[in-house]
Amino acid sequence: MPTNVIGFAGAGDPNSIWTKLAAIMAHGQPVYMCCFVAMIVFFAFFYTAIMFNPAETAENLRKSGSYIPGIRPGAQTAEYIDYVMTRLTVVGALYLASICILPEIVLSQVSLPFYFGGTSILIVVTTTIDTIGQVQSHLVAHQYEGLIKKARSKGTLV
């Protein structure tokens, strides 16, 4: 988004500061990659802060009679949940940033005739993991069917 706004601002004059700034913020440039990573990390924390309320979660745990072992119910539970969520968000944000910046680094170093981004990598990896899980569950179910057939033929299962 910043690159597009800067590009629109400097569209008329090739010698303007906006055009030079647009060249610095182009795909594959270090400034672009730093801004890209910073925005990914910022929005990961922003989304987590909006969608997850540790105080509400701690209150729901207290109302249901649950607790976290070693942590007192109430404010201490909310602080602990916030601490854990912050650490998880840091790891998740860095993972997302690395997945999204890796194609940018590869494309800036190697001239490829096509563009692939972090989203396509996430889709391919998720689909592959899901397919492997389905194949494994099918194999396990097939193994159990074979065991049940053997047990019925021997008369041990009623």
**For position 100, what pLDDT does the model report?**
85
* pLDDT per position as a tens digit, 111-149: 776 677 777 878 888 899 999 999 999 888 877 776 677
**For position 21, what pLDDT does the model report?**
80
Residue 158 has pLDDT above 60, yes or no: no
Tokens describing residue 155: 């008369």
First and final C-alpha spacing in the chain: 67
Residue found under tokens 């650490």? 87
Contact 10, 16 (CB under 8 A): yes
Residue 12 has pLDDT above 60, yes or no: yes
Tokens describing residue 8: 């629109």
- Please tell me which of 66-70, 84-88, 101-105 the model is most confident about, judged by mean pLDDT: 84-88
**For position 88, what pLDDT does the model report?**
96
* pLDDT per position as a tens digit, 37-71: 999 999 999 999 999 999 999 999 999 988 889 98
Buried b (16+ CB within 10 A) or exposed e, 18-57: bbebbeebeeeeeebbeebbeebbeebbeeeeeeeebeee
d(CA 47, CA 86): 12
Q: How many CB atoms lie within 10 A of CB 131?
A: 10
**For position 49, what pLDDT does the model report?**
92
Residue found under tokens 């041990």? 156
What integer is the mean pLDDT of 98-104?
85
Q: What does pTM read for this prediction?
A: 0.66
Contact 23, 6 (CB under 8 A): no
